[in-house]
Structure 1
Amino acid sequence: MDSNKKYWKGLEELNKTPEFVELNKNEFAEPIPIEDVLTGGGLGGRTPRRDFLKALGFGVGAVTLAACQKVPVHKSIPYLIKPEDVVPGVPNYYTSTYEGNAILVKTREGRPIKIEGNPNDLLSKGGVSAQAQASVLDLYDVNRLKNPLKDGADLSWNGVDEFVKAELAAIKASGKAIRIITSTISSPSSLAVIADFVTQFPTTKHINYDAVSYTGIIQANQNSFGKAVLPHYNFDKADVIVSFGADFLGTWISPEEFTRQYVQNRNSKSLQNKKMSRHIQFETGMSLTGSNADVRIPIKPSEEGPALIALYNAVSGSTLPGTKKLSNSNAEKAIAIVSKELIAAKGKALVVAGSNDVATQVLVNAINSLLGSYGTTIDLENPSYQYAGNDAEFVEFVNELNRGEVGAVFFLNANPVYDYFKSQDVVNGLKKTRLKVSFSNFSDETASLCNVIAPASYYLESWGDNNALEGYYTIQQPAINPVYDTREAEHSFLVWSDNATKDYYSYVKNNWDKNLLAKGGLSGQSGWESLLQTGFVKVADKPAGSYTFSRDLNAVAQTILDHSTALTTDGGKFEVQLYQSVAMRDGKRANNPWLQELPDPVSKVTWDNYAAMSPSDMKKLGYQGGDVIKVDANGYSVTLPVLSQPGQTQGTISVAVGYGRTKVGPVGINVGKNAFPFFSLRNGTFQTSAVAVLTSTGENSPLAQTQTHHSIEGRNSIIKEATFTEYLKNPAAGSGKEGGDHKDYNENSLFWQKYDHPQYNWVMAIDLNACTGCGACVVACNAENNVPVVGKDEVRRRREMHWIRIDRYYSFNDNGETSVTKETEIAKLEDLDHVKVVYQPMLCQHCEHAPCETVCPVLATVHSSEGLNHMAYNRCVGTRYCANNCPYKVRRFNWFNYWNDSRFDNYLNNEHTQLVLNPDVTTRFRGVMEKCSMCIQRIQAGKLKAKIEKRSLKDGDIKMACQQTCSANAIVFGNSNDPDSEVSKALRSERTYYVLEELNVQPGVGYQTKIRNISELEA
């Protein structure tokens, strides 16, 4: 590809706006405020005695006691380590499960401090999402309920039990309905407990309610094949993938699993085998999946249905009634080409759609049936149980409430007063209900309207299990005793229904003894203990079945076209697309500061949601970034700042749900605005698109965006890419070594001595073709290295502290000039609808010729004999010369004592949250420089373990936190002195290049070029 191709991080950098130019005149965001230095201002100095006592007071005592108690008698089994082998300073690992993924919980002296993926997990093979990584922090949330409440007042568990049992008896006698409302439960033991409760109270019905629903897919499979299931998709078996709005790498169904599958046909190993899948994405807003696609076609929500009809016609060779020529010429052209590619890949093709509309999903089923996808890329025999929500059942429940037919309702991990689009109907109905019980950890929007809150123990404190996929069962065991006076919701159901088994641990164990252990070839106490060590059992997959699609599609097509007509806008209205952000998802973890501060992969916005709009529409309407607009749709209005987003379809806006919580802890309260009320009900399912009127409010609310905080001034040697066709001709294509005359920058230098690395030379390789930009590595680094959260205001001041960042670069499809001039403004605005995206993890490069080392006046940053750039915090006096001299801008100046400064109380500084700190890593104080250490503590631990075992260190013994959490296996770390190590093999790849290697700083992190599988679609 053209080596002169330009890359840019944001429109301000592309356009060289005055604000951007001014901010980038200086290396640093701003000087230390002199008034804070003179007055102390909470910036540092001694920790106040009040805060010191606070840190050692009741809060720490509560968690310490929970960690050290000898109860429960039924002990958890650490991963490959006996429970009694708890040694101070040595971690224990417990198997558990997070949303069906097998995980390991790392504990230190009884405190869970880190979530790791179980390397044998069937879904992600050791990868863990940002949400899972951040979940450990919620354990220490001081805002969790400490005990049960009745009518807002504290009550003992005995008091709660007496009250609820008396109420249930009265309701049973009255014959009124009892309803249990939960988000999807895929735990066999939990479902068994609920079934026992239903037996005791026959008017009970369990309703699965998911704020973001997949009912459309489940019902479509019932209509198409008589199987009401969510399929198990196999992206690794697909040579051609076509997605219509399904963000399967970000938020759709099982993104960690799908990421692992997806990259198997696109990573270094696949490329070496001369194979690479094709991925075409049709979507409205720029999603994580769309930004990774080989080809991305912007379409409006109203155009999705007609585009699918056109695809069906092209694949089937027939024409459905009502078919019209697409108004979107790009989509029309793409459909014609994509249909040929799908037919050519028959049996190895996959079409998916993110729509929750039943008719749309039926049509997708018809297309996949024609392509022979069932039994190969789509598995209906071994379905997913990750989502089982039934929209129609929940709507009927709300109607029952308002008719006064419900005597009791229980809410478990469900908060419809916040996330149901007609929440006032729920509020009104609850007023007519006698007994209302919530198991929430917080007095949230729904729980606050209940007369009983029976807070459930957190998953890290609880026994349980999960069955995310047919035949795959994971076990959940507590890594700590309950910090507060809480108990499992299942325990409460057992007590209230007078079950013969009174405690949930015994119930889970009995259920496994009778039903599940045998599935893994286990039995008895020894089988139970073996289960707790391995974390799961797997039953052989059921053989693939054959399915014939015979449904009449005429009515289906008409339903789709009617829906498209209803969404089509005129008179200046905009189509609204609602989506989940990768960090916040449905908003259940809104009080988690690690997630709030995780930059959105595409927009790089933190601490907010917004209305994403195409640059062309922004120009037409005269909007500037951050301008606040009023969005009116579906009888609901909300004000949101607007964001100019390249790739956004013209005539549309995209808004993330999961924000705007009004009853949650201080971190998430009133962060962003609630977009769930924009949902609607159509043909029995919740719809995520609407027609809106936009009105300017005249206000401006700047967003906290990180995308151009670390500009590297347009240098072209940062991103390297090539097409798959070019790669097949020359594996070195795009790397700068195509001609075989690549300059060797490893010559000696007058400024740096040559370092000897006699035993270890720690280096890293990052495959840009595998990295999807999801950001899980950022949160993993936060957890492992005690990286502080700074809050929205500090992010806006360019002071975020992340040690690893994911740089997102845009480029135009062509190789022309990328700066927008007055003469080409309109053309370039159109080009912005079709930008390409590349993600690049950027961290300290641990350069051999490290420019930071030569300018430090106090030798705070020095080179080790193992090839690492070390930081001696006690020496650092905060000159920031090193940051000024770093070409990668990967050093972070610690402006405040974030972990103890009272101004950050809402984020980190409370008596519990600090207990998540990794004791192997020093917490940094104000005024010092910090950056990636290559998890030096992990390196030392690995070497020590090998020494104790009297063996040599093996490749793979040491994994970085960022590496370990990556489902895509995009990051490889190891010893380059070992020629057989994975990292040595990766760095010998023809695709390897080093960022800014022309500066001769000799970085220790190598990257593999980005390869795109493009075809005539780009012609």
Structure 2
Amino acid sequence: MDSNKKYWKGVEELTRTPEFVELNKNEFAEPIPIEDVLEGGGLAGKTPRRDFLKAVGFGVGAVTLAACQRVPVHKSIPYLIKPEEVTPGVANYYVSTYEGSAIMVKTREGRPIKVEGNPNDLLSKGGLSAQAQASVLELYDVNRVQGAVKDGAGVTWSTLDDHVILELAKIVDAGTKIRIVSSTISSPSTLSVIADFIAAYPTAKHVTYDAVSYTGIIQANQNSFGKAVLPHYNFDKADVIVSFGADFLGTWISGEEFTRQYVSKRAAKALEEKKMSRHIQFETGMSLTGTNADVRIALKPSEEGIALVNLYNAISGTTLPGSKALQNKAANNAIAVVAKELVAAKGRSLVVAGSNDVAIQILVNAINGLLGSYGTTIDLDNYSRQYAGNDAELADFVNEVKRGEVGAVFFLNANPVYDFYQGAALAKAIEKVPLRVSFSDTKDETAAICNVIAPNHHYLESWGDDSAIEGYYTVMQPTINPVYDTRQAEQSLLVWSSNAVNNYYNYVRNVWNTRVLPLAGLSGQAGWESVLQTGFIKAADKPAGAYAFSFDLNGVAQKVLSQSAQLATSGDNLELQIYQTSAIRDGKHANNPWLQELPDPVSKVTWDNFAAMSLEDMKRLSLVEGDVVTIDANGYSIALPALLQPGQAAGTVSVAVGYGRTSGGLVIEGGVGKNAFPFYSLRNGTFQTTTVAKVGKTGDNIQLAQTQTHHSIEGRNIVRETSLAEFVKNPAHAVGHHEGHKKYDLFWQEHERPNYDWVMAIDLNACTGCGACVVACNAENNIPVVGRDEVRRRREMHWIRIDRYYTFNEKGEGITEETEIAKLEDISNVSVVHQPMLCQHCDHAPCETVCPVLATVHSSEGLNHMAYNRCVGTRYCANNCPFKVRRFNWFNYWNDSRFDNYLNNPHTQLVLNPDVTTRSRGVMEKCSMCIQRIQAGKLKAKVEKRPVRDGEIKMACEQTCSAGAIIFGNRNDPNSAVSKALKSERTYYVLEEFNVEAGIGYQAKVRNTFELEA
């Protein structure tokens, strides 16, 4: 442990701003809302009668009955005949697929309430993203289009079908074009339906695009190898990983899969053997992947191309024309070291870039070709189908529409009016198309200008399939009958094209019987039923081909360097980088409040996007955090609050897409951020995410809903970190136990745990900070959303949070508690540690001794329990908790009319887990260690007359973690995975000097760093 390092959550904590100091003087940072207490009738509050009836009346009956009958529901009635598969109080699980990953869907009384990863999934081995965890909430969204719509009015499906078929006949007679515009579709059955539709209407064409495009990589592979595919990357086969702006642990291609691969070379098993891969990240803004890198170099977009040219030269020993050194000395030094590292790991190295520019990606291909990466860390044969969009095709479609050549357009899982960079102009052009059909299940920006809306099922109501990777096929099956009067888009296309197979379920069966099942040696009903139980099949991998790079690199280098020169800025201009956040991504799920309230892994901002800037630029423009700035580029302007981001490259500003939507639900329409997609530009045939922007000050200031310093640990040493070199020499260096630490057991009654001692181990080397566990915990434990204003007041309710700590890569001389931000010179060279923090279930729990009503007590199995009906809301326990992990319910969030935009509606509450009590106003709550899962596991073992097996009970946070960073189990079993993890040389306990005897052990962070010359 490096005792010279200073860890801090935010600049306000580092510099001890007056506001930060003042808030931390108080016993509680958030004040008691006297006016709300008086209005609500005391801390116990009251549930409005109307909202209560909505929650338990017709809304509940409608969705529950959807699970067992298909007729329209007009009355709320109990079961007359109980469905065979539904047993009250017992969960059912169905396999399905989400974005190509095999999943399991938990249902209770016929309603889906939780999505889990399939542990046999080949991509993430049971891990799931925050988006997948939150997707079940969208099933119950009252903002969904609840039936067929024509010209703004609801119609029957037969009426809609007649209208569309008649209009298509007119278009065929006129000889005008028909276009199906969609995001990437990797479902073999859906693609087959579209092909059949095109065969029925020969002027039709399928146009595929992705809001966040990978056309640059696909086209570069076409140019380099004659194979237009998105590769399947194998980070688990790489000893040295170099990334230029690719957030591969977060939003780049397949984050959950890559996380699993990446961690396999860096966490428990690898460190037991005293080895790990090395990861170097060059990037503009601090990304999730950048926070996990061993070495991170801040690099402007204009420097990226030059750095890649220099890296190629250093590896190949040649000099491409126009090459020059960077003014960025740290980057120059790093390139020289990185080149040696890559060459030494030839065949076991990988270079990736996040740019969508074809020339940049060709250069990356050339580098990987020199390193022998193809066939090892890069697979072009068993390629990815996840992003197949073609930017040029979308541009051609836009021109066709503007020229009036399109007679009908169908939008499937696509919203170009919002996410196309010239969306406003496109909207005006589309309105002139005679037949405009959207399959969107919400009235999004594109659906709003369509004269026909044929709302698609939610995926949990659908039959279907997917194939995210060549040779890997997953099946989708409905877990509930349609909640509303919707219909699958594929079914609509079958009807409108008069397909001989007019039922989509039968169509899927035909595709699998003839094309998919034989790949695994299966057939017929038995084969189909087998797939419905396993969830997927995997065909044999194709053997790796021989790929020799072939392209004119001289011309590529000149183009790269020319583009770099165009991005270079001066004066008040900054280089603008557009990126995705881990939660909101491209904005498709922006109406999901669970995702909106998930703190960004780096900035910890919720409910907004912002302008991330460096300290140097903030000082130059005389800005403080929250100052609203205008960003002007490409003829478009928005105003956003500025955020001081450690690690941001000087001379740049980063803005996230996915925000600023105007239609599609109550959350969206409440106003969440600004749209950054119009900053895109079409250059060299692809959509580019970097440009030059002018940044100006408006004089306004907005407080961001940022959680980073809400729960200050007051400078206490709770993070343990070391380098691999030090760890190999002295494993105890990572832990650094306090000398002379004593246990004072005389003051505490020891707890007997005869059967089970439930504990947890968390590996800081595995945790990437993605936050999927936070959303999984929300879904499992009925944790409410509180909204932007309440987050600003420090009232977020998450039971598990991911603390993000910065530290200087140098010793940080001159940084003291009295340092003012005006005197702070540089915070660009920082590293980050992520630490999941939840109730530590202490044996000597400080909360238990101060509760006057015994609402919080210790169990005989090592857990700290909460009896909600005893709690009177004194908050003494929260004040006495050194980990700041207890949450106070300020409002009855699930039923209070003030929270209508988030979760308070008759259908959304159907996502509630009936095994977990929803807490009322004035109650203290915190992590229960998913006690309902523990009890269910014990009961199952008891019925089967056996002890609980290790790994049989998994926490919600543990189950969703693709990195396997969290292990739960019984410490009384010496052979359990958690017992073995806690015996690791890297294990330590947070604040163990406080004698709280925490039940959660952490494994210290280890980085495989190297020194750069000054």
Alignment of 1:696 with 2:697, yes or no, is yes
Match of 2:346 in 1: 346
Tell whether 2:891 aligns with 1:890: no
Q: Displacement of 1:60 after TM fit? A: 2.3
Unaligned runs of 5+ in 2: 73-81
Aligned position for 1:942: 937
Deviation track 1:774-796 (CA, whole Å, cap 9, x = no partner) reads: 00000000000000000000000
Show the counterpart of 2:518: 518
Match of 1:1005 among 988, 1000, 1004: 1000
Q: Distance in 1 between matches of 2:443 and 2:565?
A: 42
Q: Residue 924 of structure 1 is aligned with which of 914, 919, 931?
A: 919
Matching residue's letter, 1:810: Y
Q: Secondary structure at the match of 1:465?
A: strand
Report the CA distance between 1:620 and its aligned residue. Answer: 1.8
Summarize the alignment of residues 9-24 of structure 1 with structure 2, pairs less than 5 Å apart.
9-24=9-24
Secondary structure of 1:2's counterpart equals coil
Of 728-737 and 383-392, deviating more is: 728-737
| Superposed displacement of residue 734, structure 1 | 1.9
**Mapped partners of 2:864, 2:299: distance in 1:** 47
Task: Find the aligned partners of 2:159 and 2:344 in 1 and give their Cα distance.
Answer: 67
Instruction: Tell me, yes or no, if the aligned pair for 1:3 and 1:734 is still in contact at 8 Å.
Output: no
**Aligned match of 2:796:** 800
Query: What residue in structure 1 maps to residue 366 of structure 2?
Result: 366
Relative to structure 2, which stretch is displaced further, 409-418 or 616-625? 616-625
Alignment partner for residue 947 of structure 2, among 952, 963, 973? 952
**Identity in percent:** 74
Native 8 Å contact 1:313 1:320 kept in 2 = yes
Distance 1:454 1:780 in 2: 31
2:214·2:389 contact (CA, 8 Å) conserved in 1? yes
Q: CA deviation at 1:572?
A: 2.0
Aligned-residue offset at 1:881: 0.6
* TM-score, normalised with respect to structure 2: 0.97
Question: Secondary structure of the residue that 1:879 maps to in structure 2?
Answer: coil
Partner SS state of residue 659, structure 2: coil
Whether contact under 8 Å (2:9, 2:803) holds in the other structure is yes
Call closer, same or farther: CA 1:31–1:328 in 2, change over 3 Å. closer
Contact kept in structure 2, 1:117 and 1:964, CA below 8 Å = yes
CA offsets 1:470-526 (integer angstroms, 9 cap, x no match): 100000000000000001000000000000111111100111111111112211111
The C-alpha deviation readout for 1:600-656, integer Å capped at 9, x for no partner, is 000000000000001121122110110001100010000000000000000000000
Residues 230, 384 of structure 1: 8 Å contact kept: yes
**Given the alignment of the two structures, is residue 759 of structure 1 paired with residue 760 of structure 2, yes or no?**
no
For 1:750, the equivalent position in structure 2 comes to 746
Between 550-559 and 15-24, the greater mean CA deviation after superposition: 550-559
Contact 2:48–2:896 under 8 Å retained in 1: no
Q: CA deviation at 1:1018?
A: 7.4
Provide the residue aligned with 2:610 in structure 1: 610
Shift of 1:811: 0.5
**AA partner of residue 784 (structure 1):** E
Q: Cα distance, 1:71 vs. partner?
A: 8.2
Change (3 A) 1:317 1:824: farther
Partner Cα separation in structure 1 for residue 55 and residue 926 of structure 2: 26
For 1:170, what is the secondary structure of its paired residue?
helix
Counterpart position of 2:666:
666
| Mapped partners of 2:30, 2:41: distance in 1 | 17
* Alignment correspondent of 2:530: 530
Partner of 1:986 in structure 2?
981
| Contact in 2 for aligned 1:43/1:901 (Cα 8 Å) | no
- Counterpart of 1:914 in structure 2 is 909
1:573-606, Cα deviation, whole Å (9 max, x unpaired): 1000000000000000011000000000000000
CA contact (8 A) 2:15 2:821 kept: no
Give the aligned length: 1004
Partner Cα distance (1:844, 1:235) in 2:
33
Task: State the distance in 2 between where 1:452 and 1:884 align.
Answer: 56
CA contact (8 A) 2:786 2:899 kept: yes
Tell me the amino acid that sits aligned with residue 922 of structure 2: G
Query: Which amino acid in the other structure matches residue 528 of structure 1?
Result: W
Question: In the TM superposition, what is the alpha-carbon distance from 1:815 to its structure 2 partner?
Answer: 2.5
Report the AA paired with residue 843 of structure 2.
E
How do 1:374-385 residues align onto structure 2 when only pairs under 5 Å count?
374-385=374-385
Is the Cα contact below 8 Å between 2:242 and 2:281 reproduced in 1?
A: yes
Aligned counterparts of 1:890 and 1:56: Cα–Cα separation in 2: 31
1:680 corresponds to: 681
Match of 1:84, SS?
A: coil
Quote the residue 2:223 is aligned against: 223
Match of 1:36 in 2: 36
2-structure distance, mates of 1:993, 1:272: 16
How much has 1:1016 moved relative to structure 2? 2.2
**1:89-139 CA distance string (max 9 Å, x none):** 110000000000000000000010000000000000000000000000000
Amino acid at match of 2:164: V
Whole-Å separation in 1 of the counterparts to 2:172 and 2:889: 61
What is the DSSP-based 3-state SS (H/G/I as helix, E as strand, rest coil) of the residue aligned with 2:381? strand
The correspondence of residues 534-683 of structure 1 with structure 2, limited to 5 A, is 534-669=534-669, 670-683=671-684
Measure, in 2, the Cα distance between the counterparts of 1:8 and 1:141.
Answer: 39
Could you give the per-residue CA deviations for residues 842-894 of structure 1, whole angstroms, max 9, x where no partner exists? 00000000010011111000000000000000111111111111000000011
CA distance in 1, matches of 2:813, 2:914: 51
Q: Displacement of 1:431 after TM fit?
A: 2.7
Cα deviation, 1:530-586, whole Å, max 9, x if unaligned, reads 100000000111111111112111111111111111111012210000000000000
Q: C-alpha deviations, 1:764-783, integer Å up to 9, x for none? A: 00000000000000000000
Once residues 45 and 12 of structure 1 are traced to their aligned partners in structure 2, the CA distance between those partners, rounded to angstroms, is 35
Equivalent AA in structure 2 for residue 618 of structure 1: M
1:770 matched to 2:766: yes
Tell me the distance in 2 between the aligned counterparts of 1:723 and 1:34. 50
Could you tell me whether the CA contact under 8 Å between 1:148 and 1:160 is conserved in 2? yes
The structure-2 alpha-carbon separation of the partners of 1:902 and 1:827, relative to structure 1 and needing over 3 Å to count, comes to closer
Which residue of structure 2 aligns with residue 79 of structure 1? none
**Counterparts in 2 of 1:261 and 1:51: CA distance versus 1, 3 Å:** same
Quick check: 2:147–2:154 contact (8 Å CA) kept in 1?
yes
| Alignment match, 2:102 | 102
- Give 1:783's aligned amino acid: A
C-alpha distance in structure 1 between counterparts of 2:228 and 2:37, whole Å: 65
Alignment RMSD, CA only?
1.6
- Pairing 1:148–2:143 present: no
Which stretch shifts more, 42-51 or 4-13?
42-51
Q: Tell me how far apart the structure 1 counterparts of residues 812 and 362 of structure 2 sit (CA, whole Å).
A: 43
Shift in Å, 1:822: 8.6
- Measured in 1, the distance between the counterparts of 2:333 and 2:818 equals 30
In structure 1, what is the equivalent of residue 133 of structure 2?
133
- Inter-partner Cα distance in structure 2 for 1:406 and 1:982: 61
Mapping 1:438-517, distance limit 5 Å: 438-517=438-517
Residue 1009 of structure 2: aligned partner: 1014
1:75 match: none
State the TM-score, normalizing by the size of structure 1: 0.97
- Helix, strand or coil at the partner of 2:331: helix
What are structure 1's unaligned runs of at least 5 residues?
73-81
In structure 2, the residue corresponding to 1:490 is in which secondary structure? helix
Are 2:840 and 1:848 equivalent residues in the alignment? no
Q: Which residue of 1 aligns with 2:76?
A: none
Using the alignment, how far apart are the partners of 2:42 and 2:159 within structure 1?
44
| Structure 1 residue 748 displacement after superposition | 4.4
Cα shift readout 1:918-946 (whole Å, capped 9, x = no counterpart): 00000000111100000000000000111
What pairs up with 1:862-873 in 2 under 5 angstroms?
862-873=857-868
1:6 matched to 2:30? The reply is no
| Pair 1:780-2:776 in alignment | yes
When residues 44 and 54 of structure 1 are mapped into structure 2, their CA distance, relative to the original with a 3 A threshold, is farther
1: CA distance between counterparts of 2:291 and 2:401? 43
